[in-house]
């Protein structure tokens, strides 16, 4: 096993910190995190303790742009770059309305340049939102993307992510850059923060406080919740085996549920006294809030081509997240 330097942007985020933990466990890996902590759900000191302050972990708390300026010639030779840094969440993105295209595409260009400079393989973490709902929620990598007429903040996020994807893929065609795109579907699990608006930590927090669960509209929205540990396995496999310039869905189609069903399962598993309320999210988060289309993945490309096997069912995702939140963990 040869030593390997790996850069993880957003490595103190929900998915990023879980990935970093996995990467550190592999002998020979040296991990460098660049994170400006703008959406980080963890206490970094607590996280460093959880991973045992290992000598093979280093970090810069700054934006990717700042990191690229600072890096100068002292840069390590990275062999792999996982690019996860991004605004996130249906509520989280609202604060960046009008600025997200520049943020997401600007960071993507920096990452492209780093990938070229270091001759590193780049994994770009995009979003399942690029499908615009696919065909009645079913999203295959082979389908056309759909851009709806209505301009929303969510659309800005999705279109910026798509533009970043396209820049990366085209760069792999005209330069030596090696890159793959990941489109995750409703990642959930320990460390996800309710702050971005994500449904599972919100429902679990409400259930633990015996408050009503806030199901939006009639709760018939369809999602496929996928355990963060499964997603991280998929990221590592894609880095190892993914075809250059290809996009991969990472999401567990077996975990397809409606949001009302999710709420009912949370109440049951948490043994909560909470009732379920149907509410209008715009009354909670303002007029900019928008519901996404139904979405669940065709995961054939990642299961057949990469050998990815998501393991956790919805109840397992709920249980693991519940334990994390109930224990009041900081990382």
List Cβ<8 Å contacts ≥24 apart for 200-206.
Answer: 200/225, 200/262, 200/266, 200/317, 200/318, 200/321, 201/321, 201/325, 203/262, 203/263, 203/266, 204/266, 204/270, 204/318, 204/321, 204/322, 204/325, 205/325, 206/274
For ligand UDP, the binding residues in 235-264 under the rule CB under 6 A are 259
Bridge partners, residue 31, by sequence? 6, 57
Residue 130 or residue 215: which is nearer to ligand UDP going by CB?
215
Catalytic residue among 67, 96, 131, 157: 157
Q: Which of 5, 17, 172, 186 binds ligand UDP (CB under 6 A)?
A: 186
Axis-axis angle for helices 100-118, 64-71 (nearest 10): 30
Q: How far is the CB of 282 from ligand UDP (least distance, A)?
A: 11
Which of 7, 120, 267, 292 is the binder for ligand UDP (CB under 6 A)? 292
In DSSP terms, which residues pair with 59 in a beta bridge? 33
Q: Please select the residue that binds ligand UDP; options are 198, 248, 296, 308, rule is CB under 6 A.
A: 198
Given the complex with ligand UDP, which of 111 and 259 has the nearer CB atom? 259
Q: How far apart are CA 324 and CA 26, in angstroms?
A: 24
Active site residue 96: no
**Binding residue (CB under 6 A) for ligand UDP from 199, 204, 207, 232:** 199
Decide whether 242 or 251 has the Cβ nearer to ligand UDP: 251
**Binding characters for ligand UDP, 205-224, by CB under 6 A (x = yes):** ---------xxx----x-x-
Q: What does the per-residue mask of binding to ligand UDP show for 65-104, with x meaning CB under 6 A?
A: -------------------------x--------------
| Cα gap 85→47, rounded to integer Å | 17
Q: How many residues bind ligand UDP (CB under 6 A)?
A: 14
Start-to-end CA distance of the chain, whole Å, equals: 29
291 binds ligand UDP (CB under 6 A): yes
Q: How many CB atoms lie within 10 A of CB 303?
A: 18
- Interacting residue ranges for ligand UDP, rule: CB under 6 A: 90, 186, 197-199, 202, 214-216, 221, 223, 259, 291-292
| Residues belonging to the active site | 157
């Amino acid at each position: 096993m040869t030593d390997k330097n790996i850069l993880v942007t957003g490595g103190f985020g929900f998915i990023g910190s879980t990935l970093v933990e996995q990467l550190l466990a592999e002998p020979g890996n040296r991990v460098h995190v660049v994170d400006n902590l703008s959406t980080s759900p963890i206490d970094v000191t607590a996280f460093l303790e959880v991973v045992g302050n290992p000598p093979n972990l280093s970090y810069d708390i700054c934006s990717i742009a700042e990191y690229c300026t600072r890096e100068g010639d002292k840069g390590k030779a990275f062999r792999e770059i996982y690019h996860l840094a991004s605004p996130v969440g249906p509520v989280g993105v609202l604060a960046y309305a009008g600025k997200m295209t520049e943020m997401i595409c600007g960071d993507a260009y920096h990452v492209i340049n780093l990938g070229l400079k270091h001759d590193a393989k780049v994994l770009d973490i995009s979003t399942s939102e690029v499908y615009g709902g696919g065909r009645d929620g079913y999203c295959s990598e082979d389908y056309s993307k759909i851009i709806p007429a209505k301009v929303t903040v969510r659309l800005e996020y999705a279109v910026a992510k798509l533009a970043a994807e396209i820049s990366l893929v085209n760069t792999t065609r005209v330069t030596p850059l090696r890159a793959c795109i990941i489109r995750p579907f409703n990642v959930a699990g320990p460390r996800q923060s309710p702050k971005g608006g994500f449904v599972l930590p919100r429902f679990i927090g409400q259930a633990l406080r015996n408050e009503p669960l806030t199901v939006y509209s009639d709760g018939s929205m369809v999602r496929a919740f996928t355990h963060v540990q499964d997603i991280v396995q998929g990221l590592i496999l894609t880095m190892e085996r993914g075809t250059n310039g290809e996009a991969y869905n990472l999401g567990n189609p077996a975990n397809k549920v409606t949001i009302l069903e999710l709420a009912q399962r949370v109440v049951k598993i948490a043994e909560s006294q909470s009732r379920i309320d149907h509410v209008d999210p715009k009354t909670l988060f303002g007029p900019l809030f928008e519901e996404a289309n139904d979405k669940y993945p065709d995961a054939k490309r990642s299961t057949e081509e990469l050998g990815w096997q998501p393991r956790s069912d919805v109840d397992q995702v709920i249980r693991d997240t519940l334990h994390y939140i109930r224990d009041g963990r900081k990382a």
